[in-house]
Amino acid sequence: MATMKPEWEFLTKTIYDPAIFWAMVTAVATVLLVAATVGLVWIGLIPLINARKAEFADRFRSELLSPTAEKIFFLVAHGFVEFKVDPTTKRPYFLIIEASENIIKQRLEQMLAGQRIILTFEMDDKILSPLEEVAYYEEKNILDFDYVYETFADHIDVFMSNKEVVKYITWMRETTGMDVYRKLEKLHAKIKRHAAAVKATSVAQLS
């Protein structure tokens, strides 16, 4: 019996295995989203060179201040999300956990209006992809680290320190074989080191 070529075997597995298929769709969409923005910069459609860097960074900041992004930020920051994979469809999503305290429960009910899950596409499109772009431009010294730290450190730390978000990123990497959000992970480590250094300096000055 003829042996299937490795590339055809991978393609067949990708198409017929729902977990790999949907993860690949999400990962490819994420990569294309970042690549498209990067491409626009380098071909000159985004006048980055002639614009002030702070104004360019404000574009990312405004994305993170959209109603959907702020809602996701609130839920993640307060630990109200849990990463899940549907056992039937194999599609990943974030389950919104019900609050135990009445005041917070009422706040969530008003905010969510019956919404029970966050799609991974929303997490990628509204939060993780913009932050990955910030990490890319910081690494290229297009955005100053001090400005990135002042403006985006809280968002980056909230999401990259959340175990459920980390589970999702790990799942994406393992399922697709794509090294997604690696620059964001690297920037997060840099931010943590800087924060520790600032804290140590403050303590030393008070001693």
Average pLDDT of span 53-73: 84
Residue pLDDT, tens place only, 73-116: 999 999 999 999 999 999 999 999 987 777 777 877 877 888 89
Residue 45 in this model has a pLDDT that exceeds 50 = no
Domain range list for the chain: 9-206
pLDDT: which is higher, 34 or 123: 123
- DSSP state letter for 124: I
Residue 60 near residue 144 (C-beta atoms within 8 A): no
Return the pLDDT at 38.
58
Residue 127 in this model has a pLDDT that exceeds 60 = yes
Q: How far apart are CA 92 and CA 94, in angstroms?
A: 7
What token pair was written down for 186?
A: 């690297």
Count Cβ atoms below 10 Å from residue 117 Cβ, excluding itself. Answer: 14
Count Cβ atoms below 10 Å from residue 148 Cβ, excluding itself. Answer: 21
Residue 168 near residue 94 (C-beta atoms within 8 A): yes
Residue 122 near residue 159 (C-beta atoms within 8 A): no
Residue pLDDT, tens place only, 153-192: 999 999 999 999 999 999 999 999 999 999 999 999 999 9
Q: How far apart are CA 43 and CA 119, in angstroms?
A: 32
φ and ψ at 24, to 5 degrees? -65, -40
What token pair was written down for 65?
A: 């201040």
Q: How far apart are CA 109 and CA 88, in angstroms?
A: 28
Closest to 32 (Cα-Cα) out of 133, 182, 149: 133
Q: How far apart are CA 79 and CA 86, in angstroms?
A: 20
Mean pLDDT for the chain overall: 82
What token pair was written down for 119?
A: 């799609």
Return the pLDDT at 94.
98
**Sheet (strand 92-96) strand order:** 81-85, 92-96, 117-119
What token pair was written down for 195?
A: 């924060």
Average pLDDT of span 183-207: 91
Which of the four pLDDT bands, split at 50, 70 and 90, describes residue 50? very low
